[in-house]
Amino acid sequence: MTAVDDGAASAPGERIELLRQMIRIRRFEERCVELYSAEAIRGFLHLSIGEEAVAAGLLGVLEPGDAVVSTYREHGHALARGVPMNAVMAEMYGRATGCSHGRGGSMHLFDGERRFYGGNAIVGGGLPLAVGLALADSLRGRNTVTVCLFGDGAVAEGEFHECLNLAALWRLPVLFACENNRYAMGTALKREHAVTDLSLRAAGYGLASWPVDGMDAVEVAAAARRALESIRGGRGPCFLELRTYRFRAHSMYDADRYRDKAEIEQWKARDPIPRLFAELRAAGAAGPDAQVKLEAEVDAEIEAAVAAAESAPLEPITDLTRHVYAETR
């Protein structure tokens, strides 16, 4: 791993915020597991438990005008981007108050106001959108960056190669953020890629590219800041390979037979939440009950979101065909 220690994201308040955001995402998804088992939420459910440092570190340093393109494992990304938890939870329930009005579900969270463009279930399908959003912003003279999140699986798709070439060719303000969790669904990195050092792939297209410890929210935030600064300075797109791990299976349907239990335990030992908490305690920035306090606050937020979703109206069936085309031309 390349050590990034430029002092950024080192303020204690900022570290507490990273911790809070990670706990928020972790507890939200844990609650979703219970709700899924109770059949309150349905469909595919892809959890990012273990990967929270990426969402908190990367999305926490964006400006409001920046754009985000995400994947089907995006609850954490949406929450860290500021999509209200009530709207995300209501979408899980398929309710009218959901951030996609019940038409998206877990895999298709959108928030136009916050420039959160999915929620793309087609692996790699969001990369061209990110290129286009960055093209529009740059042609319109906005000094914004489009962050494009995708997994190691997407690196095998043709769109990855087409889009990195195009973004580099046109020097577009895109931050390609690969969440390398080492598995494309159930296929291990070494079974899907001839070259498993993914940051080398981007370097081949002329992008500034480096690997990051994706289990360390502080390091993710620092690397993201460095990349954003370079992109905003007009030096073209960057690629971050965020090396992380999901502690749970690909989806709730997955029996997780393709991974060694010892491997999972090794990565759990690097859990980003206790790791950051321990650092804060060691630095005297957090007391022994800080985590418990944060969890209690977060749990209250989650329970309020669940209650709101459960009492939210259903999107009426008479509105089934709305939003296929614009209502006014």
Partner 1 sequence: MTTYREAVREALREALIRDDRVFLMGEDVGAYGGCFGVSRGLLDEFGPERIRDTPLSESAFVGAGIGAALGGLRPIVEIMTVNFSLLALDQILNNAATLRHMSGGQLGVPLVIRMATGAGRQLGAQHSHSLEAFYAHIPGLRVLSPATVADARGMLWTALQDPDPVLIFEPIALYNSEAELPADAGAVDIDSAVIRRAGTDVTLVSYGGGLRVAEAAAEELAGDGISAEVIDLRTLRPLDEATVLASIARTHRLVVVDEGWRSVSISAEIAARAAENGYYLLDAPIARVCTAEVPIPYARQLEEAALPQPGVVAAAVRKAVS
Chain residues binding partner 1 by CB under 8 A are: 67, 69, 98-104, 108, 110-113, 117-120, 122, 125, 127-137, 139-140, 146, 158-159, 162-163, 165-166, 169, 322-329
The least CB distance from residue 300 to partner 1, in Å, is 27
The least CB distance from residue 126 to partner 1, in Å, is 8
Give the other-Cβ count within 10 Å of 166's Cβ.
19
* Nearer CB in complex with partner 1: 202/220: 202
- 116-119 vs 187-188, strand pairing mode: unpaired
Alpha helices in the chain (DSSP H): 12-37, 52-59, 75-81, 85-92, 126-139, 158-169, 189-192, 198-203, 217-232, 261-268, 272-282, 290-311
- The set of residues, in sequence order, having a beta carbon less than 8 Å from that of 141 and lying 6+ positions away, is none
* Nearer CB in complex with partner 1: 119/236: 119
Q: Which token pair is 70?
A: 């995400």
User: Read out DSSP for 213-236?
Assistant: ETT-HHHHHHHHHHHHHHHHTT--
The least CB distance from residue 156 to partner 1, in Å, is 14
* Nearer CB in complex with partner 1: 262/324: 324
Distances (CA, A) of 267 to 247, 262, 270: 8, 9, 5
Nearest to 224 by CA among 78, 74, 60: 60
Q: Which token pair is 158?
A: 């043709």
* Nearer CB in complex with partner 1: 110/210: 110
* Nearer CB in complex with partner 1: 143/196: 143
Sign of CA dihedral 159, 74, 107, 326: negative
The least CB distance from residue 191 to partner 1, in Å, is 24
Nearest to 236 by CA among 328, 181, 166: 166
The least CB distance from residue 204 to partner 1, in Å, is 15
User: Token match 């590219």: residue?
Assistant: 209
* Nearer CB in complex with partner 1: 87/198: 87
| Environment class of 96 (CB within 10 Å of its CB; exposed 0-12, middle 13-18, buried 19+) | middle
According to DSSP, residue 152 is labeled G
The least CB distance from residue 315 to partner 1, in Å, is 8
User: Read out DSSP for 38-86?
Assistant: TTSS-S-----TT-HHHHHHHHTT--TT-EEEE-SS-HHHHHHHT--HH
* Nearer CB in complex with partner 1: 174/221: 174
The least CB distance from residue 168 to partner 1, in Å, is 11
* Nearer CB in complex with partner 1: 174/220: 174
The least CB distance from residue 149 to partner 1, in Å, is 14
